[in-house]
A and B are shown apart, each in its own frame.
Chain A
Amino acid sequence: AAGVIQSPRHLIKEKRETATLKCYPIPRHDTVYWYQQGPGQDPQFLISFYEKMQSDKGSIPDRFSAQQFSDYHSELNMSSLELGDSALYFCASSLGVGNQPQHFGDGTRLSIL
């Protein structure tokens, strides 16, 4: 079965650079979630989209922005990168909301030098 696809799998950037992470949800899934997992930490919710509209917002820095496109894929844009942004970034998707579980991609490992 098709899963959530995230790209790139690894990304190395320097401080103050920008980065774009991409997420392709499971076909027919219309809801996308972004989470950030620091080293040895639990995942923290950043932002979510339902039917291309932002549906919820968590602890996402102002330097980050995201959107969901007409084909339901999503991109997380990160600017003025800081050392503390080094983390594993997960995208998850679900079919609608309610009792549908979130299925996670393999994550993008972002390292800031």
Chain B
Amino acid sequence: AQTVTQSQPEMSVQEAETVTLSCTYDTSESDYYLFWYKQPPSRQMILVIRQEAYKQQNATENRFSVNFQKAAKSFSLKISDSQLGDAAMYFCAYRSTQGGSEKLVFGKGTKLTVNP
């Protein structure tokens, strides 16, 4: 079974600075998807960014980018120019590509605080 590990329960960053959230995963599959979801205090689960394992190019969405290291099974999220609205719980998630197994497997989350 796949597992996702987020080793940083909490992180903090100053407004306008850059922060990197770590995520590692364990799988025997060669093709899969990885996601970062954001959960603010309003409790919504918001998709931040996704990466397909067969793509070597790191995904980027505006101020959010990932560092995908397939061999190391690492999938970190970098947030540039941090804003107060970025404060939230961030979950890293894995999804298999095998048919009938499309569920998301989440890490325990990293709580990000943005200081003004």
Contact of A104 with B97 at beta-carbon distance under 8 Å, contacts A33-B103, A45-B105, A48-B102 already known: no
In the complex, how many angstroms separate the beta carbon of B65 from the nearest chain A beta carbon? 17
Contact with B along A85-111 (1 / 0, CB 8 A): 000101010100111011110110100
Q: Find B104's partner among A43, A97, A106 (CB 8 Å cutoff).
A: A43
A contacts with B: majority SS = strand
Closest chain A residue, CB of each to CB of B107? A42
Q: How large is the interface on A (under 10, 10 to 19, 20 to 34, 35 or more residues)?
A: 20 to 34
Q: Answer whether residue A71 sits at the interface, using C-beta atoms and an 8 A cutoff.
A: no
B102 and A55 within 8 A (CB): yes
Q: Answer whether residue B33 sits at the interface, using C-beta atoms and an 8 A cutoff.
A: yes
Q: Find A101's partner among B47, B100, B101 (CB 8 Å cutoff).
A: B47
Interface size on B, residues (CB 8 A): 24
B44 and A104 within 8 A (CB): yes
Q: Find B103's partner among A58, A99, A106 (CB 8 Å cutoff).
A: A58
Question: Which residues does chain B contribute within 8 Å of A42, judged by CB atoms?
Answer: 91, 106-109
Q: Find A99's partner among B42, B43, B52, B109 (CB 8 Å cutoff).
A: B52
A→B interface (CB under 8 Å): 31, 33, 35, 41-45, 48, 55-56, 58, 88, 90, 92, 94, 97-99, 101-104, 106-107, 109
B→A interface (CB under 8 Å): 33, 35, 37, 42-47, 50, 52, 91, 97, 99-109
